[in-house]
Amino acid sequence: MRMAVQITMYLNEGDQWKGRPLHLQVLKCLEEEHVENAIVFHAVAGFVGGSRIKTASLVDAGGKLPLVLIFVVDSDEHAERVLPRVREMAGKRIIAREKVTLV
pLDDT at 54: 78
Q: What is the pLDDT of residue 63?
A: 66
Average predicted confidence (pLDDT) for the chain = 90
Domain ranges across the chain: 2-102
CATH of domain 2-102: 3.30.70.120
Local confidence band at 41 (pLDDT 50, 70, 90 cut-offs): very high
76 HSE (CA, 13 A, CB side): 1
- Kindly report the pTM of this predicted structure: 0.87
User: pLDDT tens for residues 43-82?
Assistant: 888 877 777 787 877 555 566 788 999 999 999 999 999 9
User: Across the chain, where does the E strand assignment appear?
Assistant: 2-12, 16-17, 20-21, 37-42, 45-46, 54-55, 66-73, 95-102
